[in-house]
């Protein structure tokens, strides 16, 4: 990434953190990184930022990664809720890789589509998935 992108990230992290009334320590706790890292990102003292940290910062701040990168001014274009982040952490804690999680989500979406296309089930379970 260019130094201009790091300036944008730092400025947007600081601006959003201040909008939320959070300290650097508060944001660090929510994003799962150190307070020093937050201060460094905001002041452009870190030469790079990993995708993982960028996503955790975006999630903690309630904004999209694209917003932090300066690709959009829309705060919430791809925000994941805390529930989704917690679920992802649970999946990975039991050994699921991101690819496994994506497959599970796709399977859920197919199942949901099958259930919404089927007639209502009096037991509330929906039709069994076809194999």
Q: Do 7 and 46 fall within a single domain?
A: yes
Q: Do 30 and 86 fall within a single domain?
A: no
How far apart CA 52 and CA 99 sit, in angstroms, is 15
Q: Do 63 and 100 fall within a single domain?
A: no
Q: Do 51 and 86 fall within a single domain?
A: no
Q: Do 8 and 64 fall within a single domain?
A: yes
Give the pLDDT score at 1. Answer: 58
- Residues 14-67 have pLDDT tens digits of 999 999 999 999 999 999 999 999 999 999 887 678 888 888 898 889 888 888
- Packing angle, helices 24-31 and 35-42, rounded to 10: 110
Give the pLDDT score at 127. Answer: 47
Query: What is the total count of domains within the chain?
Result: 2
CATH number for 10: 1.10.260.40
Domain housing 112: 82-117
Give the pLDDT score at 126. Answer: 46
Q: Do 52 and 19 fall within a single domain?
A: yes
How far apart CA 99 and CA 103 sit, in angstroms, is 6
Q: Do 61 and 110 fall within a single domain?
A: no
Q: Do 65 and 86 fall within a single domain?
A: no
Residue 61 forms part of a structural domain: yes
- Residues 79-126 have pLDDT tens digits of 456 666 777 778 878 888 777 777 877 777 777 677 765 555 444 444
Q: Do 91 and 36 fall within a single domain?
A: no
Q: Which residue has the higher pLDDT, 115 or 128?
A: 115
Give the pLDDT score at 76. Answer: 64
Residue 130 forms part of a structural domain: no
Residue 50 CB coordination number (10 Å): 9
């Amino acid at each position: 990434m260019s130094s201009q992108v790091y300036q944008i990230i730092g400025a947007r992290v600081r601006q959003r953190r201040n909008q939320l009334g959070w300290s650097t320590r508060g944001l660090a706790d929510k994003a799962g990184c150190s307070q020093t890292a937050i201060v460094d990102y905001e002041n452009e003292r870190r030469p790079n930022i990993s995708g993982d940290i960028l996503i955790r910062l975006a999630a903690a701040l309630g904004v999209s990664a694209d917003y932090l990168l300066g690709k959009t001014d829309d705060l919430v274009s791809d925000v994941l809720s805390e529930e989704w982040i917690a679920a992802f952490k649970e999946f990975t804690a039991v050994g699921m890789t991101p690819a496994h999680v994506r497959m599970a989500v796709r399977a859920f979406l197919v199942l949901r589509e099958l259930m919404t296309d089927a007639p209502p089930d009096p037991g509330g379970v929906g039709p069994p998935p076809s194999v």
